[in-house]
Chain A
Amino acid sequence: METVVVALVKIALMIGGLMTAAAYLVLLERWIAAWTQDRVGPNRVGIPLTKFKLFGLGQPLADGLKFIFKEENTPAQVDRGLFTIAPIVILTAALAIFAAIPFGSVLPKDLGIEGVEQPIQLCVAPAFDVGIIYVFALSSIAVYGVILGGWASNSKYSFLGGLRSSAQLIAYELPLGLGLLGVVLMSGSLRLENVIDQQASTGVWNMFLQPIGFVTFVVAAFAEAARLPFDLPECEQELVGGYHTEYAGMRLLMFLIAEFLHMVTAAFLIVILFFGGWHFWGLTGSSKDEVTWFEAIMRVLVLQGKVLAVIVFFMLARWSWPRFRFDQLMDLAWKVMLPLGLVNLAAVAVLVEFGWDKAENKLGFSPVWAMAAMWGIAIVAWTIAAIFTPLQTDNRPRLEAISE
């Protein structure tokens, strides 16, 4: 009974927090977009019927109200069932992912709640042995929502958008998985908590040890979240629109929320897998389940702070770099990221096999040397990839191909 109540409280926290976060991330994105373009951004909507503006923090409420009162338009000749299901699929999958993602570490034992003996893990489904696989399986389901939305719309723009997005999302599953595998090898577990614990116990974040894996994962995470420079699924500015061209009102909002939730998922995964999760040297302690209140609160704050930093990076990236052309996008996935991921995997396998973090390892080097070796490999591998598959490609029509 207690566990059910605890789980329900955590689910309520998670869903409420995520929905609010998604709404306010839209505001943050608009602010950052404005600031990078030397504008001010939304700053007017505050408390209704008063003069209090509150820096525009009422904007998400106004946006939500606007979406509620917008016309729910269903075009003629669409496949009504699939058309309605598509946003539900994509949003459900995006929300369900967070069951396995810890939003803190653990609460101290002296909680004072009757009947709760175990320390409460700050995760809806703690100690989930296949957590990482679960997260990846669910985030792959997003592809179905995209394809369904594109197909059911009965519009060639949506259909092409859906095809484009599904090709991209599926292509980037592989670098994503390869970037992740190194981390899994390193921690020897598919539990997200164990990945964090491993980094906390050694004090070395995976980012420092696996630079290639990190870059591969981040690039693939950008593509999976369909953010610039890989936002070909939506292409707000240049193309007609993506798979959700025909959607309006609440159903469009569901797509957009799901997009933001993907970004949050990606940020959480990047932080947990590569930035040490809740670990910060000297602040959060390194014990797994024994924490003081200070450490417990610091862990939540450190984790959320890191996630926010990654999200801000996501948003800055949107205004920094130009979009990839589709062939370049595919080149990057198959010719650059995939080999790099394999190189990373092999290097990590060697490190783990010879016990890099043990004092008397078989190779006879310290963790610092392991780190230096990995960075050396990273630079060499990246240079080779850059020389042999430069991302700049010639898009002129080939004359010899035409004359034949």
Chain B
Amino acid sequence: MRADDPNVKWIEEPKLGLTGKMYLPLLVQGLTTTARHLVGPKITVSFPEVRHQPGNPLIYRGVHRLNKDEHGRVKCVACFLCATACPAHCIDIIGVESPWPDREKYPESFTIDELRCIFCGMCEEACPVDAIELTSLYDLTGRSREEMIFDKEKLLSVFDMTKDAEPMKSIQYGGTL
């Protein structure tokens, strides 16, 4: 970039008045602002004791869960749409023939690698039967990599954990059940 490039627009800085040039009044202003914040309300959340509540849990994207239907069976029909939509390729499904008459397939194994997941919510959008949803649980930790790969049982247990606090989104928004 050249300084006399006609495409470069040099912005005139605002002219300083005498107080600005004397600098001390502005110093006092800055110090007063800082000092006022010493005694203001604090915004820190002390995490393990106080748990931050996401504003609207229905649109918060935290840990996944696999929803169950009214018979306690997994809702997933192993259509692979979520795995296809996933940009991080973290969903791995093995679909087999379903033992139940209301669908053809069901997932024998359904694993999500939470370490690879970017929590974009695409799986949730892609699912035609609202089987996979993102909850508002955000403290996703584990002691090993293996522990962070969630299998079907774990994802279903997340549903059991959160079903009271967060109803299935489709019910509220008139989706499929």
Contact = CB atoms under 8 A, between A and B. Distances in A.
Contact of B18 (A39, A319, A383, A403): A383
B42 interface: yes
Nearest to B4: A399
Contact of B38 (A36, A398, A399): A36
B115 to A, nearest CB: 27
Contacts of B3: 396-399, 402
Interface stretch (B20-28, B97-105, B136-144): B20-28
A1 interface: no
Contact of A392 (B2, B13, B43): B13
A386 B33 CA distance: 23
Contacts, number: 68
A111 interface: no
A37 interface: yes
Interface residues of A, number: 29
Nearest to B45: A40
A34 B40 CA distance: 11
Contact of B22 (A317, A386, A397): A386
A369 interface: no
Contacts of A37: 37
Contact of B37 (A36, A382, A403): A36
B4 A392 contact: no
A403 B39 CA distance: 54
Nearest to B39: A35
Contact of B34 (A36, A39, A387): A36
Given A392-B20, A397-B3, A321 B30 contact: yes
Contacts of B16: 390, 392
A43 B40 CA distance: 17
B21 A38 contact: no
A402 to B, nearest CB: 5
Contacts of A32: 38
B37 A35 contact: yes
A391 interface: yes
Contacts of A383: 18, 22
Contacts of A38: 37, 40-44
Majority DSSP secondary structure for residues of A touching B: helix
Interface in A367-404: 382-383, 386-387, 390-392, 394, 396-399, 402-403
A382 B20 CA distance: 12
B35 interface: yes
Contacts of B38: 32, 35-36, 316
Contacts of B171: none
Contact of A319 (B13, B34, B40, B44): B34
B33 A320 contact: yes
A330 to B, nearest CB: 16
B44 A390 contact: no
A386 B44 contact: no
A5 B21 CA distance: 55
Contacts of A386: 18, 21-23
Nearest to A394: B13
A73 to B, nearest CB: 28
Given A36-B34, A383-B18, 14 more contacts: A38-B40, A38-B43, A39-B44, A40-B42, A40-B44, A215-B24, A316-B31, A316-B35, A321-B27, A321-B30, A383-B22, A387-B18, A391-B23, A397-B3
12 contacts: A38-B42, A316-B38, A319-B34, A320-B30, A386-B21, A386-B23, A390-B16, A391-B21, A396-B10, A398-B3, A399-B3, A399-B4
Query: 10 closest A-B pairs (Cβ-Cβ)?
Result: A397-B3, A40-B44, A386-B21, A386-B22, A320-B30, A320-B34, A390-B21, A35-B38, A39-B44, A36-B37
Interface of A: 32, 34-40, 43, 215, 316-317, 319-321, 382-383, 386-387, 390-392, 394, 396-399, 402-403
